[in-house]
Each structure stands twice: as C-alpha cells, then as structure tokens.
Amino acid sequence: MPELPEVETVCRGLAPHLVGRVFTAVDQHRDTLRIPLPDDFAARLTGRRVTAVNRRAKYILVHLDDGAVMIAHLGMSGRMMIHHGADPARQRHDHVVFHTDGDDHVVFNDARRFGLITLARSDALEEHRLFAGLGPEPLGNTFNGTVLAAALKGKRTPIKAALLDQRVVAGVGNIYACEALYHAGLSPRRLAYTVAGQRAERLARTVRQVLTAAIEAGGSSLRDYVQSSGELGYFQHRFAVYDREGDRCPGCDCGASVRRLVQAGRSTFYCSRRQR
DNA sequence: CTACCATCCTGGTTGC
DNA sequence: TGCAACCAGGATGGTA
C-alpha cells in the first residue's frame, strides 16, 4: 500500500496509540522479513516507552526512551493495524504483535514480506545504511525546483524512473510519480536532465501538491486498507491517470485517452497530448 | 553512467 | 468451475 502519503497516514494513525505507551510484550512470529529482524528484537523493545512516531521517506520511525528507534518499511503489502481490547485470533501473515500498557496493540501484517523492521540509534539515523543517500523530503522546506533540477542534472534516464529513485526525492512511488507528471504536463519518457528551470519548478510544485492532497484524503486504498484504524483512504478516487487506462484525459479538452506503458518494469499511466 | 532483467513473496483478477 | 498467466503501492543487485 505504501507511498509517502500512505506511510504518513499510518504514522498519524499510530501515534495516538503509541506515544507515551510502554511496550509490555512483543510477539515475534517470524525471524526474517525483507531482512532479518534484529537479535533480541522483542527483548530490546519490551519495557521501553514510545516518545514519538514519525516518518522519513517511506520508513515509519518509532522512537523509544532509551535512544533506540524502530524502523519499519511496509514494502508493497505491509500494514500496521490497531486492535482494541483482547487479542483477536492471529491472522495469516501477522508477523509481529506489539502489546502496550494501553487498551490496544499494534499488529504488523505483510503478505509479501517485502517490508522490514529493524532497530537503530536515533542519534545516528541519517548515517544508517537505509537512510544514507536518501534525497530530500518532498514536503520539507529544502525541496524546490532548484534542488530537483540539481538532482536530475546529467541523468539520461526517463523522468518517471528518476522520480522513483529515492536518492532524487524521498517517498515518491509509482502512483504519485504518474500523477505528478500528469499535473506538471511532462511526458514520463522525457529524459530527466531536460527537466530544469521552469519545468523543474513546476514538477517540484506538483509533486508537493499531489502528496499533500493525498495525505489530506487519508492516502489511497487500492486492494488494501491504509489507515491503521481500518478505514479506507479515498485519494484513489482522485487519480487523474493512475490505473485509468482508456479513460478520457480528465484535466482538459484534449480528447485523448489515458495510455499505459511499461518503464523499468513498472506501469506508467499518462496522456500523450497533455504531457510533453 | 545507462537500460534491462530478475529477485524476494503472496494473493487477487483476468481470460481461456 | 478450474487453472494458468499476469499483475500489484518497493527496493536491490546483477548483467551487458
């Protein structure tokens, strides 16, 4: 489920249930997700109080009172679900259950196991191998057209692929790359280095706008729940092009229809009239 | 550098 | 209805 808006939504859903709470027990049902869980994972969390929950790129960060941080990535199919009251029956693909001293517990479920959970020191996060090299946060105040153009300079790869490169900008995935390019009027095939100046300004702006609008909508729910509460995000109803092959281009009177192409093994949706 | 491919894994949808 | 092929929100590593 997860690009930046979905991960942000999950963090906001988790925070009220975790911040200030103590992990009373952690049930670990699997040793390895995308990477192995740390040694003594459950023991290192048990008894710790959560001080904050936030996000970097598509990573969920759960900060603990001993200076450790739990890093979680949802991959393609990961979910963090909040369960109230007594333990419900374990569901298929529930890998870790976090019990707190509150009324509820959090379950990490991931059918495909492309997600990961690990631990790091909060004072060394930016040097952690998962974070070293990540580009700017698109909703942060360091991201703008100038910064984007600098990251794209000299890159002869298609702009669509460049937006998916987490070193260029952190947190954009397949859906929002398509949407941002559409709103910027840029062809997904355009070579990245040609996006500079006004084009880069425009693209930086549309990336920011589409992500912000998606967060306000609670993210997008395709096949899965997004919000930890189990509610559905609804930004998918506002997609201009993503998964809309054959639909009329929605934003103008160009009369063209949305097309699909494959780039770097991923589907790209676009309007060839509007996007140049 | 670049493009391209395969890989990790499961499940839902589509088409015959 | 059965079954196989194909597709999926991500990231990485290898090859030419």
Looking at residue A225, what is its pLDDT?
Answer: 61
pLDDT at A29: 96
Counted residue by residue, chain A has a size of 276
pLDDT at A271: 94
Q: Which nucleotide is nearest to A59 (CA to C1')?
A: C10
Token pair for A228: 């930890």
Q: Is the CB of A111 under 7 A from strand C?
A: no
Measured from the CB, is A9 under 7 Å from any atom of strand C? no
Closest CA to A7 of A226, A167, A223: A226
Burial state string for A122-139 with b = 16 or more CB within 10 A and e = fewer than 16: eeebeebebbeebbbbbb
pTM of the model: 0.97
User: Has A3 been annotated as catalytic?
Assistant: yes
**Residue A266 is a catalytic residue:** yes
Give yes or no for CB of A33 within 7 Å of strand C: no
| Residue nearest C9, CA–C1′ metric | A1
Can you tell me which residue has its alpha carbon closest to the C1' of nucleotide B10? Answer: A112
Read off φ and ψ for residue A121, nearest 5 degrees: -90, 135
Q: Give residue A224's pLDDT.
A: 59
* Confidence (pLDDT) at A1: 64
Q: Which residues of chain A have pLDDT under 70?
A: 1, 223-226
**So what's the pLDDT on residue A226?**
58
Note the CA–C1' distance, A157 to B5, in angstroms: 16
- Please give the pLDDT value at position A255: 86
- Distance in angstroms: CA A153, C1' B1: 13
Q: What pLDDT is recorded for position A67?
A: 98
